[in-house]
Amino acid sequence: MFLELEDSLTKLRLTLQYSVYNDRDMITRSVKVYNGGNNNVELLRVMSMSMDFIHSGDYDLVHLHGAWARERHIERRTVMHGIQQIDSRRGASSHHHNPFICLVNKHTTEQQGDAYGFGLVYSGNFTAGIEMNSEEVLRAYMGINDFNFRWILEPGAEFQAPEVIMTYSPDGLTGMSQNFHGFIRKRLCRGKFRDVKRPVLINNWEATYFRFDEEKLVKIASSAKELGVELMVLDDGWFGKRNDDNCSLGDWVADREKLPLGLEHLAKSIKDLGMQFGLWVEPEMVSPDSDLFRAHPDWAIQVAGREKSLGRRQLVLDLSRKEVCDYIVSVVSGLLKDGSVSYIKWDMNRNITEPGSLLLPPEKQQEFSHRYILGLYHVLETLTTSFPDVLFEGCAGGGGRFDLGVLHYYPQIWTSDDSDAVERMYIQYGTSLLYPTTTMGAHVSAVPNHQVGRTTSIETRGNIAMTGRFGYELDLAILTEEEKEIVRQQIKTYKQWGQILHESTMYRLQSPFAGNTFAVEFVSEEKQYVIAVYASVLGSADKDPDRLYFAGLDADAYYRDLETKKEYSGSFLMHLGIPVATKGDFASKLMIFEKV
């Protein structure tokens, strides 16, 4: 559906594009600007969405804020007069704010009350906010950030702003999230991996960091294979002379010191174990100490004559230049073309400073940040359509570019560099406000945890990871025999139930942001299966066990707990709940029920 608006004086035309879905409570909207006049037009601000709430009543604004290793925590604040806004100016959607806002009534809870949600399909600088005027009319808006943005539209040219996906639910935040989840899973995500089972993976990053050789990797892979893992991912450090993060980004050729027989040999050794092989890359970056930078110093983002700021000792390549995009496509295609790599983890470990391109004329420098994202999307589109059998996982120092733009190309994203099970309760709970579990990379890592130093049980690490894209990120050989057996069972459980969980409707039952516990539930399409994960942060001696109240079940049907074999009516589970007795700190429980 289109609405066309024209300014009769300048002949500037706006096309408001709407898609209204028959089978879902979803509307998408975007804006196209066309210059039908005879003069250049400078676009200084183009919001993709602007919506007025006439009877604004008592609203709260809900959004996701964070930092590196603390992404997407939920913040809920009262709507006041004036402007409240979140944004990113970092060149990526960022760890700090997510391109998502939601307006809820004061009384709205997880499962009741009005919730209006808005998500921007974009990976770069964005802004999203609300403005309430003196008449209590509330305007919500969202789009490309107008900070340092000026786009020159020549006569006859058009500018397409990114899409916003919007939903309303009378069933609270959970209802809103369910609408988003279904839409993202089936409409936004594309490609073969949208619908098929994805492999259980092991990633060597937290097991070895930069210190590995082929023998060590094959050992990690073979002990993982024994327990049921299907895909071995080789993370950072396999190329150039990369023994730390000081050098070599851009030199995507195997380091013969670590891998004397090359990448192909390692891939074959992994394949011979009966596993798939995956590889980490960070192709948007270049290290000053690299052959690529020495050959093409002008390919790095910079301002002529000025010092270049480093982040993690690296620079960002100028993806507004066609030859740079072509180079990235050819390098990554080179790694993929013999078919031995079946998974790519695409990282991006610093934000953009000095945004500008040596190729753009002065009057177009402020187009740079958007041109970078257009270049990135071109690269991702080319690679994902050329290699449809490769599973791509996005990453940006963890979840620094976890957005709907990336998910259009990659069906999953590494959720956070914080792999501690307790911290992940908050991060994954918050992320689920907009994003389905199908998109959230979640791994069991070693203890004491490398980011926070906490020790949690292998069960709890597994149970929390089970509510995302399940995998491991440690050397499984160092586990005790008892722990290995638990891992074997976890993998078996995920293989049997993971797909059902990911295709189910998610209910958030207990919020870690509200107290000491975390509980989420997944109800399969015909309400045939119910999978719930409960976890508590600290143990407590003097209280009755927590009760877990389920949601979304058939009230009259009976459900059997597959572990205890006890049967409960749906009504009982929803209204009386069952006690979840857990002992100790960081305890957790995974429950699976089947309708009888």
Catalytic residues: 347, 417
What is the three-class DSSP state of 433? coil
Instruction: In angstroms, give the least distance from the CB of 348 to ligand DGJ.
Output: 9
Residue pair 555/571 in contact by the 8 Å Cβ criterion: yes
Whichever of 177 and 451 has its CB closer to ligand DGJ, that residue is: 451
Instruction: In angstroms, give the least distance from the CB of 451 to ligand DGJ.
Output: 11
Instruction: In angstroms, give the least distance from the CB of 443 to ligand DGJ.
Output: 9
Using the contact rule CB under 6 A, the part of the chain among 82-90, 391-399, 423-431, 543-551 near ligand DGJ is: 391-399
For residue 105, the cross-strand partners are: 59
Q: What is the pattern of x (binds ligand DGJ, CB under 6 A) and - over residues 458-497?
A: ----------------------------------------
Q: What is the pattern of x (binds ligand DGJ, CB under 6 A) and - over residues 325-354?
A: ----------------------x-x-----
205 touching ligand DGJ, by CB under 6 A: yes
Residue 425: what residue type? M
Instruction: Considering only residues 236 through 295, tell me which ones interact with ligand DGJ, judged by CB under 6 A.
Output: 236, 280
Backbone dihedral angles phi then psi of residue 119, each to the nearest 5 degrees = -130, 135
Q: Quote the DSSP letter at residue 311.
A: B
- Within 486-539, strands assigned E span 505-510, 517-523, 529-536
Whichever of 208 and 588 has its CB closer to ligand DGJ, that residue is: 208
Q: How many residues bind ligand DGJ (CB under 6 A)?
A: 11
**Region for 393 from its dihedrals, namely left if φ exceeds 0, alpha if ψ lies in -120 to 50, beta otherwise:** beta
234 touching ligand DGJ, by CB under 6 A: no
Residue pair 439/492 in contact by the 8 Å Cβ criterion: no
Whichever of 69 and 591 has its CB closer to ligand DGJ, that residue is: 69
Whichever of 205 and 392 has its CB closer to ligand DGJ, that residue is: 205
Q: Tokens standing for 426?
A: 């908050």
Instruction: In angstroms, give the least distance from the CB of 202 to ligand DGJ.
Output: 13
Instruction: In angstroms, give the least distance from the CB of 282 to ligand DGJ.
Output: 7
Instruction: In angstroms, give the least distance from the CB of 347 to ligand DGJ.
Output: 5
176 touching ligand DGJ, by CB under 6 A: no
Residues with Cβ within 8 Å of 552's Cβ and at least 6 positions away in sequence, in order, are 505, 507, 521, 523, 527
Which residue among 397, 436, 498, 512 contacts ligand DGJ (CB under 6 A)?
397
Residue pair 379/330 in contact by the 8 Å Cβ criterion: no
- In the block, tokens 């050397």 appear at 475
**Kindly report the CA angle at 370 between 365 and 375, in degrees rounded to 5?**
105
Instruction: Compute how many other C-beta atoms are within 10 angstroms of the C-beta atom of residue 18.
Output: 12
Residues with Cβ within 8 Å of 487's Cβ and at least 6 positions away in sequence, in order, are 227, 228, 444, 458, 462, 472, 476, 479
Instruction: Considering only residues 413 through 452, tell me which ones interact with ligand DGJ, judged by CB under 6 A.
Output: 414, 417
Whichever of 118 and 238 has its CB closer to ligand DGJ, that residue is: 238
Whichever of 402 and 593 has its CB closer to ligand DGJ, that residue is: 402
Backbone dihedral angles phi then psi of residue 563, each to the nearest 5 degrees = -90, -50
Selection from 379, 395, 312 nearest residue 347 by Cα: 395
Instruction: In angstroms, give the least distance from the CB of 406 to ligand DGJ.
Output: 14
398 touching ligand DGJ, by CB under 6 A: yes
Whichever of 387 and 402 has its CB closer to ligand DGJ, that residue is: 402
By Cβ distance, which residue is nearest to ligand DGJ? 236
Using the contact rule CB under 6 A, the part of the chain among 320-328, 335-343, 390-398, 523-531 near ligand DGJ is: 390-398
- In the block, tokens 């207990």 appear at 510
C-alpha span between 464 and 486 (Å, rounded): 14
Instruction: In angstroms, give the least distance from the CB of 242 to ligand DGJ.
Output: 9
Residue 400: what residue type? G
Whichever of 279 and 548 has its CB closer to ligand DGJ, that residue is: 279
Q: Which long-range contacts (CB under 8 A, 24 or more apart) does 15-19 make?
A: 17/163
In the complex, which residues of this chain contact ligand DGJ (CB under 6 A)?
205, 235-236, 280, 347, 349, 395, 397-398, 414, 417
